[in-house]
A and B are shown apart, each in its own frame.
Chain A
Amino acid sequence: MKFDPKSYQTLVSRRAARSPILPNCLRAFAVGGMICALGEGLSHLYRAWGAERELSMTLVSVTLVFFAALLTGLGIFDLLAQHAGAGTLVPITGFANSVVSPAIDTKAEGLVLGVGAKIFSISGPVLLYALLSGALYGTVYYLISLFR
């Protein structure tokens, strides 16, 4: 058979149908924007109830995490995310889904080595690199502060 793997890989990636970029971006914009606007609305509500700005932001995160977890449990989140793409992935809802989904999925393997061990299997990298870069920044900031 006449076949050259190198040119084949170029051919395959060239002919592979692209995701429909414009509709994907519009949906990501609409859904992602709506989640953020919902958060903003909630933060106004919490501030009206007497929470100061910092606390209201935390409460918004917790509320959005709660709804994302619930929708994940009801099996609605993944259907929404198939259309919304980055619109549900990038807000904190995506982080919540990446914690909740392996937890539900591994229930049959037990609460310790199933749920317990796998709950960070997708969100672990996000936490790791957030904290690593935080510690790196902290080190630089501390060293600079020594010489001020």
Chain B
Amino acid sequence: MIFFDLLKAFAVGGAICVVAQLLIDLTRLTPARILVLYVSIGVLLGAVGLFEPLLRFAGCGASVPLIGFGAAVAKGVREAVDQRGAIGILSGGLSATSAGITASLLFGYLVAIVFRGGPKKM
């Protein structure tokens, strides 16, 4: 059973990455624009309720790609609005994703303190 979960995560996550790779190679969109596109699509998918079924099917195959980040923002906003009203519009997005963002900042800072950048290899 776990094996099928891993397989579904692999297939869906891989497919989401392939779409981005095609966008990079075929449209010459810069990676930064593609990531912005992906989180925005994630918010949209979360908003219209399409992300939940994908998440139930693929687990981390849906949540680990950046679409999952956008969907988490959408979910956070929705739940915060439900619980606290209008202020949830402002508070929901960040609180739902705060662990990932803070972890990136914290580890980023620690890594920057500990490591020294090396020369880039070809």
Interface residues of A (CB under 8 A from B): 18-19, 21, 24-25, 28-37, 39-44, 57-58, 60-62, 64-66, 69-70, 72-75, 78-79, 85-87, 89-92, 94-96, 98-100, 103-105, 107, 115, 119, 122-123, 125-127, 129-131, 133-135, 137-142, 145
Contacts and interface: CB of A to CB of B under 8 A. Distances in A.
Given A44-B2, A138-B78, A138-B88, A90 B111 contact: no
A100 B65 contact: no
A33 B11 contact: yes
Q: Does more than half of chain B's interface fall in helix, strand or loop, or is it mixed?
A: helix
Contacts of B104: 65, 69, 95-96, 99-100, 123
B73 A60 contact: no
Contact of B112 (A28, A30, A41, A103): A103
Interface residues of B, number: 83
B107 A100 contact: yes
A29 B17 contact: yes
A142 B88 contact: yes
30 contacts: A29-B17, A34-B10, A37-B9, A40-B6, A40-B9, A41-B2, A57-B63, A62-B103, A66-B103, A75-B118, A78-B120, A79-B121, A86-B23, A90-B65, A92-B68, A95-B35, A95-B69, A99-B105, A103-B108, A105-B117, A119-B108, A130-B69, A130-B70, A131-B93, A131-B94, A133-B44, A137-B46, A141-B77, A142-B89, A145-B81
Given A86-B20, A104-B112, A133 B73 contact: yes
